[in-house]
Amino acid sequence: MNWTDWQTLSIENPFTANSLRETLDGGQAFRWSLEQEDIWQGTWGLHLTQLRLDPTQSLQFRHPSKNRFTTEQAIRDYLLLDTDWNAIIDQLPWRSDSHLQSSIQAFPELRLLNQPFAETLLGFMCSATKQIPQIKIMCANLANKLGDEIVDGAHALPTWEQIAQSSEETLRSLGLGFRAKNIKRTADLIVQDPGCLDTIETLPYEEAKERLLVFPGVGSKIADCTLLFGARKYEAFPVDTWIIKVLQRRYGLEGWANPQLEQFGRIHLGPYAGYAQQFLFAYERANR
C-alpha cells in the first residue's frame, strides 16, 4: 500500500511510547495494532491511519495515499489533541488520594479517545466477558465480513444498518458467541428508529445512559464505556472487574454492590470520574 509522507502533529504535551500504547490499545478502542516496530495502525469510521513517535518523540501520522478522506483535523479530533488534559487532571482529587496520584504518575499523557458513537457501542457489546485480544478479533471479523472497504482490503466496522441486514447465525459465525443475539436485536431496534444514536449522543449523561440501557445486551458497564469513549461523557464511571479490584483493595470497599461502587466513583472522583477511571484501570492492569 502507498502511504503519504509522515507528518508531525503539534501537541502541547506529547505522548510517551507507553501512554500512546495505553491510549490506543489499552481497551478504549479495539481497532489498533502494532503494525511494525513502533508503528501503530488503526481504523475508525472510514479512516485508516498509522501513528508513530519519531526519534525526538514527536507524534507523526500518515495515511494511504488513496484515502484522501483522512485529514490532520480528523486525527486531532479523534485523539482529542486540543483538549487541555492537564487542566482536567488538576481537577481530579489526586491531592487527597495517593493511589490516584500514583496511577496518574504511572501513565503521564494517557488520554481519552473520541470515537464514533455507533462503533463504540458495537465494540463494547462485543466485550462482555472477553479479553482485549478476543474482542479485537471479533471486531476485525465484523469489519472484514460486513463493513465497507476503506482501501486495499482494509475495512471499516459495519454500520448498525449493515448488522441488521445480517442474521444472528452469520454473527455467530464471526465468533460473537452469545453476544450475537443481543447485537442483532439491538441492530433491529436501531434500524426501527433511525437517528436514535445521533440523538442519544447529544443527550446529557443520565438521559443518554437511560436510553442505551434499553438495548438488549447493554447494561450499566457497556453503557458507561460507550458514553465515555464514544460521546465524551466524562462523568461516566464504568465499573468492570479491574475497577472492582481497585476499589476493593485500594479503597477498602469490599462487599459493595456495583451500583454503590458507581456512585462512590462519581461522588469521590467528580465530573471527570471517567478520566480518573482510565488511570486507575491502566495502573491496576500494569500491576496484575
Partner DNA sequence: AGGCAGGTGGCCA
Partner DNA sequence: TGGCCACCTGCC
Minimum gap (Å) between residue 241 Cβ and DNA: 4
All residues at 6 or more sequence positions from 201 whose CB lies less than 8 Å from its CB, including other chains: 117, 208, 230, 231
Please, which residue, 56 or 129, has the CB nearer to DNA? Answer: 129
* Residue 218 in the binding site for DNA (CB under 7 A): yes
Nearest to 232 by CA among 262, 259, 211, 203: 203
* Residue 129 in the binding site for DNA (CB under 7 A): yes
Compose the 29-68 pattern: x for residues touching DNA by CB under 7 A, - for all others.
----------------------------------------
Per-residue CA distances from 130 to 19, 147, 181, 240 (Å): 23, 22, 16, 12
Q: At residue 12, what is the residue type? A: E
Q: How many residues does the chain have?
A: 288
All residues at 6 or more sequence positions from 244 whose CB lies less than 8 Å from its CB, including other chains: 258, 261
Nearest to 219 by CA among 125, 131, 135: 125
Please, which residue, 121 or 164, has the CB nearer to DNA? Answer: 121
Q: Which residues between 61 and 90 bind DNA (CB under 7 A)?
A: none
Nearest to 117 by CA among 51, 215, 33, 49: 215
Residue 175 cell numbers, joined:
465468533
Compose the 165-184 pattern: x for residues touching DNA by CB under 7 A, - for all others.
-------x--x-xxx-xx--
Minimum gap (Å) between residue 193 Cβ and DNA: 17
* Residue 223 in the binding site for DNA (CB under 7 A): yes
* Residue 230 in the binding site for DNA (CB under 7 A): no
* Residue 28 in the binding site for DNA (CB under 7 A): yes
d(CA 85, CA 101): 15
* Residue 134 in the binding site for DNA (CB under 7 A): yes
| DSSP line for 139-160 | HHHHHHHHSPEEETTEEPPPPH
- Per CB under 7 A, which region of 73-81, 126-134, 152-160, 200-208 contacts DNA? 126-134
Q: Which residues between 244 and 263 bind DNA (CB under 7 A)?
A: 257, 259
Minimum gap (Å) between residue 283 Cβ and DNA: 12
The binding site for DNA (CB under 7 A) comprises 26-28, 127-134, 172, 175, 177-179, 181-182, 213, 215-223, 225, 238, 240-243, 257, 259, 277, 281
